[in-house]
Chains A and B, each alone.
Chain A
Amino acid sequence: MQELINRAKELLADGTVARVLGWKKGDMSYNPEVAYFNNAEELEGFVYNGFCAANLSKYLIEASKLEGKTLVFLKPCDSYSFNQLLKEHRIDRDKTYVIGVGCKGKITVEKIRDLGIKGIESVEIDENCENITVKTLYGDKTVAYADAMLERCHVCKGKEHVVSDEVIGESRDTVDAERFAEVERIEAMSPAEKFAFFKAELSKCIRCNACRNVCPACSCRKCVFDSTKFDSAQKANVDSFEEKMFHIIRAFHVAGRCTDCGECSRVCPQGIPLHLFNRKFIKDINKFYGEFKAGEDAETKGPLTNFTFDDVEPCDAVKGGN
């Protein structure tokens, strides 16, 4: 972490960048927040640890409008979002300086709480990111790092940065699960079971829009669900259908653009596994139109703005294609 701070100070000092976009220590050990640092002094508050899960790439849309370059720290998976935003002309490469940071998987206090741990006073991560020591009102607890890790890290798509000006820090392979296993589990269900599953999940939705607003692909200036363009403006859940409409269309709009960064599921206050929508589309795209990783580069045409003459027919796609 100190290496990151030192490098950021250097780049600020030599005028390469005008500001730094990173994470700032929170008031608890587990709630760092996204922050801009304008000088060396402010950088003393900089932090980078397992709790720094936030994908900073979307913040660069606003940062691109500022004077001068912004130094941004991107985890390997965030670099995909960065490329995708570059492809869509939403951020300005010339106004960014990307330091790729190593990633040993990201954790969340929610997962620690899910283990039944209450009254958390502080959390300490050991140097190798193997174990977490949790101090609570009711005594100290130890948790395996992997048990506090976000779902996305268990199925991480790789620790290589697809774009960066330099890379600092070590990464670690965190994959211990099959990425599409859950999608396949649902696919194998009967229609009634599928519907029951999604109904139970989506009926929790409170339409807070956190999933949308955190999503680097959902970067519309004005979401279609906030505008009058389709007579579809909605603010709150009224009937369960609206949630289906919102989530299906949201997934459709980001299909071929979603990098599977997992932010939607991370931020959902109701714990809805929203990534299951996006990942279904990713699985389908890979199957029907060939392996495609959104954000792998900033040039390739997305699968839904492309075609081949002998694409699968919609009815065959439903039957499972080939």
Chain B
Amino acid sequence: MLKIAKVDLSKLYAAIAETADLFVPAKTAGQTNYTLWSDETVVDMDTLKTVKSPKDVFFPQSENLYTVNKVDKKYKITPEELCNRDFVVFGMKACDIQGVKVLDKVFLSNPVDSFYKARRDHGTIVALACGEPEESCFCKVFGIDCAEPDADVACWFVGEDLCWKALTEKGEALTAKVAELLSEGDESAVEAKKAEIRAIVEKLPYSNLSLEGWHGDATKEKFDSPVWDELYKPCLACGTCTFVCPTCQCYDIKDYDTGHGVQRYRCWDSCMYSDFTMMAHGNNRTSQLQRFRQRFMHKLVYFPANNDGMYSCVGCGRCVDKCPAHLNIVKVIKAFQKEEAAK
């Protein structure tokens, strides 16, 4: 266990940034999101949850795939270069790290998404244990321990220090690069901190949410349930939940005419949008009920069915905080519980 005084963190950031791009939570115009660090960045390690999850460090909201240019009468295709520069994401929480594992299932299984893989290969995650978990958090429900994040490096704020522990080879390598700034830390103090965090988690209102009945074999029963009929109605069909979610991975591929060529890019899509998966023949989900159902069925039924029971919700609670209609996955789970109980 190593440590660095909080007051010296800026030195640490600078040291990391010397050899790699560094992404940190930073506050701009009042909101905290992951940003590429520079000397002027106002780092915000205190805000528990960034508005957007850090998933776009690995899977950007939009990225070019290739460019087509016309040279005389011939078309020239230039693929976008893959990520070839090391980077570090600093401050990721346990839930978001689990989110990346969900994305890994999608993008690293065959066919491998080369853009994503290049970023995963070049990225080192420095995780930060959650100091004060909030009432919208429910990571515990998915077996995540926010006191003990699993990444390349795990960190804890203890007193006036940041405690630092490398967990993987990548973590060790990063530690070596900044070793000068680190000194020996107190293992027991970190343990005490973990206990403190876990004690808070126990008291969180959603920590004991039951996932009973939600599993890969529940398709028929849940799909046909009448509960959806009323449940979706407040939904505005915006994409907030999907865009702040650390695991939503759907994207669309589009072209942009730059005037001197065409850029083919992909960008996040949302299953809440009316033109999601719109095809030449039309749309396979024509009502908001269907679209709304799709999102939760995917997170809690379809994804576990295809990934050894792994849910594609990590309980970060961003949708709980951000849904303009105060709808969220917790309310969905609770609504079904109530229905079960009524039966």
Direct A–B touching in the complex (beta carbon < 8 Å)? yes
Contact residues of A with B, CB < 8 Å? 26-28, 31-36, 54, 59, 118-121, 137-138, 200-201, 203-204, 206-210, 212-214, 222, 226, 233, 235-238, 266-267, 269-272
Is B254 close to A, CB under 8 A? yes
Residues of A within 8 A of B273 (CB): 209, 226, 235
Distance from B8 Cβ to chain A, minimum over Cβ atoms (Å):
25
User: B200 to A137, Cβ gap below 8 A?
Assistant: yes
Is B326 close to A, CB under 8 A? yes
Contacts A236-B267, A237-B61 given; does A271 touch B326 at CB 8 Å: no
Q: Give which listed residue, B51, B205, B236, contacts A213 with CB less than 8 A.
A: B236
Residues of A within 8 A of B269 (CB): 235-236
Distance from B261 Cβ to chain A, minimum over Cβ atoms (Å):
15
Residues of B within 8 A of A28 (CB): 135, 205
Q: Give which listed residue, B51, B204, B230, contacts A270 with CB less than 8 A.
A: B51
User: A36 to B237, Cβ gap below 8 A?
Assistant: no
Is B107 close to A, CB under 8 A? no
Distance from A200 Cβ to chain B, minimum over Cβ atoms (Å):
4
Distance from B337 Cβ to chain A, minimum over Cβ atoms (Å):
11
Is B239 close to A, CB under 8 A? yes
Residues of B within 8 A of A36 (CB): 230, 233
Residues of B within 8 A of A237 (CB): 61-62, 267
Inter-chain CA distance A118–B252, complex, in Å, is 37
10 contacts across the A-B interface (CB closer than 8 A): A31-B326, A33-B325, A35-B234, A36-B233, A137-B204, A206-B239, A226-B273, A235-B270, A238-B265, A270-B31
Is B327 close to A, CB under 8 A? yes
Residues of A within 8 A of B326 (CB): 26, 31-33
Contact residues of B with A, CB < 8 Å? 28-31, 33, 48, 51-52, 61-62, 132-135, 200, 203-205, 230, 233-234, 236-240, 242-244, 252, 254, 256, 265, 267-270, 273-275, 322, 324-327, 330-331, 334
Residues of A within 8 A of B268 (CB): 235-236
Residues of A within 8 A of B205 (CB): 28, 121
Residues of A within 8 A of B51 (CB): 204, 206, 269-270
User: A213 to B238, Cβ gap below 8 A?
Assistant: yes
Rank and list the top 4 A-B pairs by shortest CB-CB distance, nearest first: A267-B324, A236-B267, A210-B238, A34-B234
User: B325 to A118, Cβ gap below 8 A?
Assistant: no
Contacts A27-B334, A208-B238, A269-B240 given; does A235 touch B267 at CB 8 Å: yes
User: B267 to A204, Cβ gap below 8 A?
Assistant: no
Inter-chain CA distance A233–B238, complex, in Å, is 15
User: A214 to B267, Cβ gap below 8 A?
Assistant: no
Q: Give which listed residue, A118, A120, A204, contacts B33 with CB less than 8 A.
A: A204
Inter-chain CA distance A26–B33, complex, in Å, is 28
Inter-chain CA distance A17–B33, complex, in Å, is 47
Q: Which residue of chain A lies nearest to B52 when distances are taken between CB atoms in the complex?
A: A206
Q: A236-B268, A269-B51 are in contact. List 20 more A-B contacts (CB 8 A).
A: A33-B325, A33-B327, A118-B134, A137-B200, A203-B28, A204-B29, A206-B243, A207-B243, A208-B239, A210-B240, A210-B324, A213-B237, A222-B274, A233-B254, A235-B254, A238-B256, A267-B236, A269-B240, A269-B322, A270-B33
Residues of B within 8 A of A210 (CB): 236, 238-240, 324
Distance from A57 Cβ to chain B, minimum over Cβ atoms (Å):
13
User: A201 to B135, Cβ gap below 8 A?
Assistant: no
Distance from B339 Cβ to chain A, minimum over Cβ atoms (Å):
14
Residues of B within 8 A of A33 (CB): 234, 325-327, 331
Contacts A33-B326, A266-B324 given; does A119 touch B134 at CB 8 Å: yes
User: B238 to A214, Cβ gap below 8 A?
Assistant: yes
Contacts A36-B230, A204-B28 given; does A27 touch B61 at CB 8 Å: no
Residues of B within 8 A of A59 (CB): 233
| Most chain A beta-carbon contacts within 10 A, residue among B29, B33, B334 | B29
Inter-chain CA distance A266–B62, complex, in Å, is 26
User: B275 to A226, Cβ gap below 8 A?
Assistant: yes
Inter-chain CA distance A86–B51, complex, in Å, is 36
Inter-chain CA distance A34–B29, complex, in Å, is 30
Inter-chain CA distance A28–B334, complex, in Å, is 12
| Most chain A beta-carbon contacts within 10 A, residue among B230, B236, B322 | B236
User: B28 to A200, Cβ gap below 8 A?
Assistant: yes
Distance from B318 Cβ to chain A, minimum over Cβ atoms (Å):
8
| Most chain B beta-carbon contacts within 10 A, residue among A59, A212, A222, A236 | A236
Inter-chain CA distance A238–B327, complex, in Å, is 28
Q: Which residue of chain A lies nearest to B48 when distances are taken between CB atoms in the complex?
A: A118
Distance from B275 Cβ to chain A, minimum over Cβ atoms (Å):
6
| Most chain B beta-carbon contacts within 10 A, residue among A201, A210, A235 | A235
